[in-house]
Each structure stands twice: as structure tokens, then as C-alpha cells.
């Protein structure tokens, strides 16, 4: 599949001048549905005010979009059942389908969280295919779109949404919906402003970490050494019973970090030197 190409008209040295849009898939990933879909997602226990849904593109929404089906992106709805308010993580494909799914659950989507700037997560041109993304989200809801501060220009460039329409966040920030608190973790490497979201023992990880493998580090803005430090730093500190919810179905829908640490090669590399050898390049 051929990559699309973006050129920033007003690029500065601090901004991405050119964004080559490729699949988020990393060589060596299991493009896999072979991890099998769970017949039912683990849901918060009855009486829990947390609203949490994982939706797979091509299966749960974007049903007639062949490219969405091929990309196997996950989107997430997270909110408070008490207040009826939710946010959507990575609204890229079939944004109306995602918002309608929340509405059918009696939830109002008031904001969006972007794990990173790639068009299969926030919208834009992907191989010449226009992905709706946050532009459609803003049009329909007017809600805030939370993007890591390192990535405002990248998201603007990819989606065509003005930076002033985005809400900048940083690692350690929190977003509260009723009593549900979502914590932002800055996990650079796959991209400069990649971020994960932690909510009540669930880690929504975007393309930083999959059940099998991790995000590729050869796309614009990627930094293999930074990804090593993200995986061995903040993510390594999380308890083993934290449940990983990835940005793509590469090897499965969810698993505890304890199990992922046992089975995922990306978490079993013992030194930065070995990591750089595996990922390509030498430590800076």
C-alpha cells in the first residue's frame, strides 16, 4: 500500500515539515485477529459509575469501511454513568457511528482524547483515503479535543484542524467526569506526543503498546530510544493487574500488564543497547 504525503505550508524548524502517512503497523506485528475476540468485554461491575466501552473499527462501527476494517483500530468511550458524560478516545473512522453508540447507551460525548497524531487515530489523509476524525467530531459536538502539547502542530497538520481549536494537555494531567478521573501519561516514542490514559486500573495505550509488540518507530517524529524509556519507565511502574487496552487489534483486545509483560517481546528486551539493535539504529 502506498503512503500518502503531507507538506506543511508554514512549517518551522520546530514543526513537522513533512508527514509521511503510513500504517501504524510495525514490521513483525501480528496483524492478527488470531488472538481472538473476546466473546464479551470485561465490564465495570454492577453499581460502578465507570462507563467504559471498547469498539473495534469494522466490527462495532465503520462497518462498511474496508480500510477501517483492515486497520483494526480500537476506539474507546469512557465516562461517568452518574453524570451521563463521556469522552471518546481516537475518533477517526465513522465518528457519527461512535457518537451514536454512546448516545444509545444514554451517554453524551463531551470531549475527545487523542493518543497521537496519526490519521487512523485523529483523522486526515490515509493513503489517499479521507478519514473523518476530529474535524467531524468538532463539527458535530463542539467538545474539547485533548492533545498532548508536544503534538498540537502534528495533529493540526494531519487533520486540518486549527491548533487553537485543540486543548493542550501534558503528562500527569487529569480529566474528571463525575467521580471518574482519567490520568494522562506522556509516553513518547511512537510519536513525540504519544499519550496513554489511565482510568481505574485500565490503561488505554494507543500505539505505544499492543498485546503483541509496540508502535513502530520509523515514522516522522518517532524516537526509538524515547519509546524504550516510555515502556521501561512510566508503564513499567504500573501494577500487573492493570488491564491494557491497545489502539489496534494486534494480537488481542485486552490483557493484564502482568500477562503482557510475559508474552510481549517489546517488554522483554533487557537493555537499551539490545533494544536499539532490535528496533534499528544505535543509542544516541
Instruction: Enter the DSSP assignment of 216.
Output: -
Q: Which CB sits closer to Fe ion, 90 or 225?
A: 90
Instruction: Enter the DSSP assignment of 130.
Output: E
Q: Which residue has the cell 500487573?
A: 240
Q: Which CB sits closer to Fe ion, 207 or 225?
A: 207
Q: Is 118 in the site for Fe ion (CB under 5 A)?
A: yes
Size of residue set near Fe ion by CB under 5 A: 3
CA distance 143 to 157: 20
- The footprint of Fe ion on residues 203-232 (CB under 5 A) is 207
Q: Is 248 in the site for Fe ion (CB under 5 A)?
A: no
User: Minimum Å distance from CB 142 to Fe ion?
Assistant: 26
User: Minimum Å distance from CB 271 to Fe ion?
Assistant: 25
Q: Is 94 in the site for Fe ion (CB under 5 A)?
A: no
Q: Is 24 in the site for Fe ion (CB under 5 A)?
A: yes
Q: Which residue has the cell 463525575?
A: 178
Work out the burial of residue 204: count CB atoms within 10 Å of its CB; fewer than 13 is exposed, 13-18 middle, 19 or more buried: buried
CA distance 118 to 124: 8
User: Minimum Å distance from CB 80 to Fe ion?
Assistant: 28
- The residue whose Cβ lies closest to Fe ion is 24
CA distance 75 to 117: 14
User: Minimum Å distance from CB 195 to Fe ion?
Assistant: 12
CA distance 227 to 236: 12
Q: Which CB sits closer to Fe ion, 54 or 73?
A: 73
Footprint of Fe ion (CB under 5 A): 24, 118, 207
Amino acid at each position: 500500500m502506498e503512503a500518502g504525503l503531507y507538506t506543511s505550508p508554514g512549517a518551522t524548524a520546530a514543526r513537522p515539515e513533512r508527514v509521511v502517512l503510513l500504517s501504524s503497523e510495525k514490521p513483525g506485528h501480528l496483524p492478527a485477529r488470531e488472538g481472538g475476540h473476546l466473546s464479551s468485554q470485561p465490564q465495570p461491575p454492577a453499581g460502578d459509575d465507570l462507563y467504559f466501552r471498547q469498539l473495534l473499527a469494522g466490527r462495532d462501527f465503520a462497518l462498511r469501511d474496508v480500510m477501517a476494517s483492515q486497520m483494526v483500530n480500537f476506539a474507546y468511550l469512557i465516562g461517568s454513568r452518574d453524570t451521563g458524560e463521556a469522552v471518546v478516545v481516537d475518533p477517526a473512522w465513522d465518528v457519527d457511528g461512535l457518537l451514536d453508540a454512546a448516545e444509545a447507551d444514554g451517554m453524551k460525548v463531551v470531549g475527545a482524547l487523542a493518543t497521537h497524531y496519526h490519521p487512523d487515530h485523529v483523522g486526515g489523509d490515509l493513503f489517499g483515503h479521507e478519514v473523518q476524525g476530529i474535524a467531524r467530531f468538532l463539527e458535530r459536538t463542539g467538545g474539547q479535543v485533548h492533545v498532548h502539547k508536544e503534538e498540537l502542530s502534528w495533529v493540526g497538520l494531519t487533520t486540518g484542524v486549527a491548533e487553537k481549536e485543540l486543548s493542550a494537555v501534558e503528562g500527569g494531567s487529569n480529566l474528571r467526569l463525575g467521580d471518574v478521573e482519567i490520568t494522562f501519561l506522556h509516553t513518547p516514542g511512537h510519536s513525540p506526543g504519544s499519550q496513554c490514559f489511565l482510568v481505574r486500573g485500565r490503561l488505554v495505550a494507543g500505539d505505544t503498546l499492543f498485546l503483541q509488540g509496540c508502535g513502530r518507530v520509523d515514522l516522522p517524529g518517532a524516537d526509538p530510544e524515547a519509546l524504550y524509556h516510555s515502556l521501561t519507565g512510566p508503564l513499567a511502574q504500573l501494577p500487573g493487574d492493570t488491564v491494557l487496552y491497545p489502539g489496534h487489534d494486534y494480537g488481542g483486545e485486552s490483557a493484564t500488564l502482568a500477562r503482557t509483560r510475559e508474552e510481549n517481546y517489546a517488554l522483554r528486551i533487557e537493555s537499551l543497547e539490545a533494544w536499539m539493535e532490535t528496533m534499528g539504529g544505535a543509542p544516541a
